[in-house]
């Protein structure tokens, strides 16, 4: 899933209340067991099976149909569960709320069979119609859900979301009985089983939404502690903004007997140095990241504590093509062609993140882009001159908004130097906290921005579909009819090899027009206590907390 705000390291905004949270937990544990006061918080929490987890940023919301940040989705995976889940090892869909599913021979009808005895966290029975009502809600135009397009494979979903069809009964989603969800597609979607594992497809209790007037409205109180009702292995117990989110075991979860953890505490530590100190002091079991400067020392002195997992993610520059001079493709291409990505990866990123010469990471669902962006400073200078800015003359300073984490400012400072040397272009950097950084991109309130996207599932469409005209996550202002046609053609192409060839043409066009400039691919390097088991490396970044446990 995705996400726009996924990043290799959290940003550096200070959190005045953050440091108190582990001490509060330690004090609570000390009351439960007299010996706990002599232990670190992480050690004491083993007895109560409380996982202490760094999460990078405070959640903007906990509504599965609203959030876009990867850090928010980390919490949602504890609170909700889809028809399927993503297996960490294979990145393939496995049964979750649905125990099985069938697909028609033409690939257009998917029938999901729910487990017997599913319940919401408040004890209400969860039925197939709850899934159907949830999907109608995210497709409601008034909600303005950025991820509504993930449901467009459903017949008439796009038309309903665009307001050209008004009757929700015309959607290809129905509940023939309480344990059967039937989905009729507009086109064959080979990755459908993985798609329904994504947070936008999670069920939301429609009776709770109605009580808070949230069926077509975002930002209501239904996601607060005491109000939120989910169907995941944990329930929301506490949310102290900028301090912590606490979830407790959901005894109404269908597989509760197999869930070992009793609690998870998510800490929104946005400074990796602070987070590393907390881990070293025994206040965390798992960090969100690790400072680049500390990786070598941990690998040398504590190799059992540092992990480097592959991660399906791309970082890139996003151009606002509606804001001069980024409305000129020659300027965009000149800036992209003058970036030495290989040097960035080798020096600034210390070899921890591979250079990206295309948007889609290599090997995504059997696809590797043939088109690529390489460094060509001669052509870059020529293009900039053709645009009317020879040697950068006459070009106003370009403001680049940067997520204020440990990595992005360093990367952008290096690119700033490259542009100044090779093109004579002057750049200013605006360092922003995650929420503002995302909101500015959503509203096109920027000229040039760093950006990141984590793949929702193992297929190139999860990256290339981002840039269709008017797409909920196309925050560039770019629209191209030829590109839209190629993405649509790929969706209609049933032959797998032919479908990937259409994506090749689409990616080549995307790189040629340059509303984005690829920089580097993702990796997840972090610290983890040997006490944590079941935390399997996950290419898509999804961890099933029901499988995690703590041991001494």
Output the pLDDT for position 36: 38
Helix axis angle, 377-386 to 329-337, nearest 10° = 160
3-state helix, strand, coil in the chain (%, to 5): 35, 20, 45
Do β-strands 427-432 and 398-403 pair in parallel, antiparallel, or remain unpaired?
A: parallel
Give 139-143's long-range contacts (Cβ < 8 A, gap of 24+).
139/168, 139/171, 140/215, 140/216, 142/216, 142/217, 143/65, 143/66, 143/216, 143/217, 143/218
> CA 12, CA 440: separation in Å to the nearest integer?
18
> CA 378, CA 338: separation in Å to the nearest integer?
9
DSSP H/E element including 511 = helix 496-513
The CATH architecture that domain 83-207 belongs to is: Alpha-Beta Complex (3.90)
Q: What b/e string do you get for 106-116 counting C-beta neighbours within 10 Å, with b at 16 or more?
A: eebebbbbbee
> CA 350, CA 501: separation in Å to the nearest integer?
34
**173 contacts 135 by C-beta, under 8 angstroms:** yes
192: CB partners within 8 A, 6+ apart: 103, 110, 153, 183, 185
- Flag whether the pTM goes above 0.75: yes
Q: Domain ranges in the chain?
A: 1-80+232-287+528-552, 83-207, 313-522
**72 contacts 56 by C-beta, under 8 angstroms:** no
Q: What is the 3-state secondary structure (H, E, C) of 230-260?
A: CCCCEEEEEEECCCEEEEEECCCCCCHHHCC
pLDDT by residue, tens only, the chain of 552 residues: 434 333 443 333 322 332 333 333 433 433 333 333 346 899 999 999 999 999 998 999 999 999 988 899 999 999 999 999 999 999 999 999 999 999 999 999 999 999 999 999 999 999 999 999 999 999 999 999 989 999 999 999 999 999 999 999 999 999 999 999 999 999 999 899 999 999 999 999 999 999 999 999 999 999 999 999 999 999 999 999 999 999 999 999 999 999 999 999 999 988 889 999 999 999 999 999 998 889 889 999 999 999 989 899 999 999 999 999 999 999 999 999 999 999 999 999 887 789 999 999 999 999 999 999 999 999 999 999 999 999 999 999 999 999 988 889 999 999 999 999 999 999 999 999 888 999 999 999 999 999 999 998 999 999 999 999 988 889 999 999 999 999 999 988 989 999 999 999 999 999 999 999 999 999 889 999 999 999 999 999 999 999 999 998
> CA 232, CA 17: separation in Å to the nearest integer?
28
Output the pLDDT for position 499: 95
Q: 313-522, which class in CATH?
A: alpha beta
Secondary structure of residue 62 in the 3-state scheme:
coil
Q: Return the closest-CA partner of residue 513 out of 541, 481, 536, 543.
A: 481
Q: 1-80+232-287+528-552, which class in CATH?
A: alpha beta
Output the pLDDT for position 70: 87
> CA 137, CA 140: separation in Å to the nearest integer?
5
- C-beta neighbour count of 552 within 10 angstroms: 7
Q: What phi and psi values does residue 116 have, to the nearest 5 degrees?
A: -75, 140
> CA 222, CA 181: separation in Å to the nearest integer?
25
* Structure token pair of residue 221: 């109180």
**5 contacts 57 by C-beta, under 8 angstroms:** yes
* Structure token pair of residue 381: 């200078």
């Amino acid at each position: 899933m995705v996400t726009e705000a996924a990043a290799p390291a959290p940003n550096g905004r200070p959190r005045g209340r953050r440091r108190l949270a582990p001490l509060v937990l330690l004090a609570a544990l000390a009351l439960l067991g007299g010996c706990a006061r002599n232990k670190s918080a992480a050690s004491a929490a083993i007895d109560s099976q409380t996982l202490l987890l760094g999460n990078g940023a405070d959640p903007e919301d906990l509504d599965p149909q609203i959030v876009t940040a990867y850090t928010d989705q980390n919490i949602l995976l504890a609170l909700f569960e889809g028809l399927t889940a993503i297996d960490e090892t294979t990145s393939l869909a496995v049964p979750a709320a649905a125990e099985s599913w069938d697909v028609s021979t033409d690939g257009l009808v998917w029938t999901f069979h729910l487990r017997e005895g599913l319940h919401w966290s408040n004890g209400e029975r969860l039925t197939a119609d709850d899934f159907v009502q949830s999907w109608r809600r995210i497709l409601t135009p008034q909600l303005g859900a950025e991820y509504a397009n993930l449901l467009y494979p459903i017949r008439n979903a796009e038309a309903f979301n665009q307001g050209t069809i008004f009757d929700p009964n015309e959607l290809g989603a129905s509940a023939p009985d309480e344990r059967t969800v039937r989905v009729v597609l507009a086109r064959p979607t080979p990755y459908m089983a993985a798609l329904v594992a994504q947070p936008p497809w999670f069920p939301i209790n429609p009776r709770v939404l109605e009580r808070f007037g949230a069926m077509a409205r975002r930002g209501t109180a239904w996601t607060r502690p005491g109000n939120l009702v989910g169907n995941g292995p944990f329930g929301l117990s506490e949310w102290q903004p900028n301090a912590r989110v606490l979830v407790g075991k959901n005894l109404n979860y269908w597989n509760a007997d197999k869930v070992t953890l009793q609690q998870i505490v998510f800490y929104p530590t946005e400074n990796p140095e602070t987070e590393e100190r907390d881990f070293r002091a025994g206040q965390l079991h798992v960090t969100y990241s690790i400072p680049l400067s500390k990786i070598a020392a941990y690998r040398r002195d504590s190799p059992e504590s540092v992990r480097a997992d592959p991660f399906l993610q791309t970082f890139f520059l996003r151009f606002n093509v509606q804001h001069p001079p980024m409305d000129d493709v020659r300027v965009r291409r000149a800036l992209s062609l003058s970036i030495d990505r290989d040097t960035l990866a080798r020096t600034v990123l210390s070899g921890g993140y591979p250079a990206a010469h295309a948007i889609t990471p290599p090997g995504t669902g059997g696809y590797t882009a043939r088109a690529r962006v390489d460094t060509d400073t001669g052509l870059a200078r020529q293009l900039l001159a053709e645009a009317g800015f020879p040697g950068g003359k006459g070009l106003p300073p370009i403001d680049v908004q940067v997520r204020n984490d440990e990595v992005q400012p360093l990367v952008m400072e290096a690119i700033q130097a490259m542009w100044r040397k090779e093109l004579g272009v002057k750049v200013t950097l605006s360092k922003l906290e995650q929420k503002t950084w995302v909101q500015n991109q959503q509203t096109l309130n920027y000229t040039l921005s760093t950006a990141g996207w984590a793949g929702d599932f193992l297929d190139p469409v999860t990256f290339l579909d981002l840039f269709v005209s008017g797409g909920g996550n196309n925050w560039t202002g770019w629209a191209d009819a030829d590109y839209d046609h190629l993405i649509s053609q790929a969706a209609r192409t049933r032959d797998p090899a032919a479908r990937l060839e259409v994506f090749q043409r689409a990616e080549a066009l995307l790189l040629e027009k340059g509303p984005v400039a690829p920089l580097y691919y993702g990796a997840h390097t972090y610290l983890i206590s040997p006490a944590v088991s079941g935390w399997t490396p996950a290419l898509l970044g999804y961890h099933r907390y029901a499988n995690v446990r703590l041991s001494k």
